[in-house]
């Protein structure tokens, strides 16, 4: 059955279409355009969203959990709860993100997540769909480890990475690594050769070492400013590269807690709306009341939207639609540009921007319907409208 969506605006998000329509069939976008250009096929279901905005489904490439569950639990029930919660906030695709844990625990989690990814093509209600796994740890700096347990951090090892890759069934598409640790440059090159996006983060690297990481194949940065050497005007470190190198994309947690609003504005000015990516770094506490929650086995206390473990920030309770609206306030960017940073840009980081994060013929029919001020009205996953 064909479905025709109508709305005041459509953000591809690279361009704006006014008085817009979008045609869906078999879970794919068939056509987009103005109402005068795209006619409704016979027997098509027509949904008119009035003054709303049609946009690509949001893509979160760094998320640990939500709705009381952690992605490393790896069960269908836990992932279903997380994915339904995300879909309620406009997210249609995501990268379940690990944290540093005992190797056997990590391997079991990766195996379970791989099975979930293999089964994600089968529709099961209104749920966000996993794209592939983001490995955050164990190849991180001790100095900038955040809450990752120091005794579980590992030197960069091709053998260990291969074990993780195999446990994940090859479904690793993002790797966060500190470029200064032993063996990092070889692992960065090996991962990049497998078309994995290598992201620099949890790092105390100086600028020369950061540049070597980029030369070895890294092309992204993880939660910019957090778990990184502070920017110094004489020794700029990794941040100097992140903010000035146009070959790097970079993401940021725009919750007003991890990074001050003025610095979010600075980040977007430096990276431009073309290379900035919004993430949540959300944990199991997202969508839940204050209390004690788990982050990959770590105990996290949550109070007034602040997540801490041992006095350190430990993820967030941010949702991606809230990050989008915060960015509009913090950096005075348009809704269209904020949407781009949460859709097309993260999809491009993963190399899937022709089918995710964009509204164009041939792309997956993953769509978020927004009010003009960025509130989620409806989420459509794989063309499913109810």
Which residues are annotated as catalytic?
281
Burial class (CB in 10 A: 0-12, 13-18, 19+), 56: buried
β-strand pairing of 133-136 with 129-130: unpaired
Alpha-carbon distance 282 to 89, whole Å?
A: 13
- C-alpha distances in Å from residue 40, one per residue of 3, 43, 51, 59, 147: 9, 8, 19, 29, 53
DSSP 139: S
168: left (phi over 0), alpha (psi -120 to 50) or beta: alpha
* Angle of CA points 348, 352, 358, to nearest 5°: 75
Alpha-carbon distance 8 to 302, whole Å?
A: 40
CA 166 to chain centre: 23
- Measured between its terminal Cα atoms, the distance across the chain in Å is 14
């Amino acid at each position: 059955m064909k479905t025709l969506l109508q709305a005041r605006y459509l953000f591809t998000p690279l361009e704006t279409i006014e008085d817009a329509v979008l045609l869906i069939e078999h879970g794919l976008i068939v056509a987009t355009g103005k109402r005068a250009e795209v006619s409704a096929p016979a027997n098509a279901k027509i949904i008119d969203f009035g003054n709303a905005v049609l946009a690509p489904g949001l893509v979160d490439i760094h998320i640990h959990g939500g709705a009381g569950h952690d992605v490393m639990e790896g069960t269908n029930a836990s992932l279903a709860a997380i994915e339904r919660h995300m879909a309620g906030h406009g997210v249609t695709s995501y990268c379940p993100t690990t944290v540093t844990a005992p190797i056997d625990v990590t391997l079991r989690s990766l195996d379970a997540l791989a099975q979930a990814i293999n089964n994600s093509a089968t529709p099961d209600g209104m749920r966000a769909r996993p794209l592939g796994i983001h490995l955050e740890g164990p190849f991180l700096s001790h100095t900038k480890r955040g809450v990752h347990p120091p005794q579980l951090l590992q030197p960069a090892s091709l053998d260990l990475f291969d074990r993780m890759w195999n446990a994940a069934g090859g479904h690793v598409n993002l790797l966060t690594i500190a470029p200064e640790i032993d063996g990092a440059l070889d692992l960065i090159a090996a991962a990049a050769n497998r078309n994995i996006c290598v992201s620099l983060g949890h790092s105390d690297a100086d600028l020369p070492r950061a540049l070597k990481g980029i030369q070895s194949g890294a092309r992204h940065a993880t939660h910019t400013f957090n778990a990184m050497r502070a920017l110094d005007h004489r020794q700029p470190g990794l941040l100097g590269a992140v903010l000035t190198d146009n070959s790097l994309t970079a993401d940021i947690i725009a919750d007003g807690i991890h990074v001050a609003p003025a610095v979010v504005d600075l980040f977007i000015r430096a990276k431009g709306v073309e290379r900035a990516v919004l993430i949540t770094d959300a944990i199991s506490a997202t969508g839940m009341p204050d209390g004690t929650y788990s982050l990959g086995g770590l105990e996290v206390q949550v109070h007034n939207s602040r997540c801490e473990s041992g006095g350190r920030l430990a993820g967030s309770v941010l949702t991606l639609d809230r990050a989008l609206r915060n960015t509009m306030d913090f950096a005075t960017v348009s809704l269209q540009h904020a949407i781009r940073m949460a859709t097309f840009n993260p999809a491009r980081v993963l190399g899937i921007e022709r089918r995710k994060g964009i509204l164009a013929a041939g792309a997956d029919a993953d769509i978020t319907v927004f009010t003009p001020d960025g509130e989620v009205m409806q989420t459509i996953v794989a063309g499913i409208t109810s």
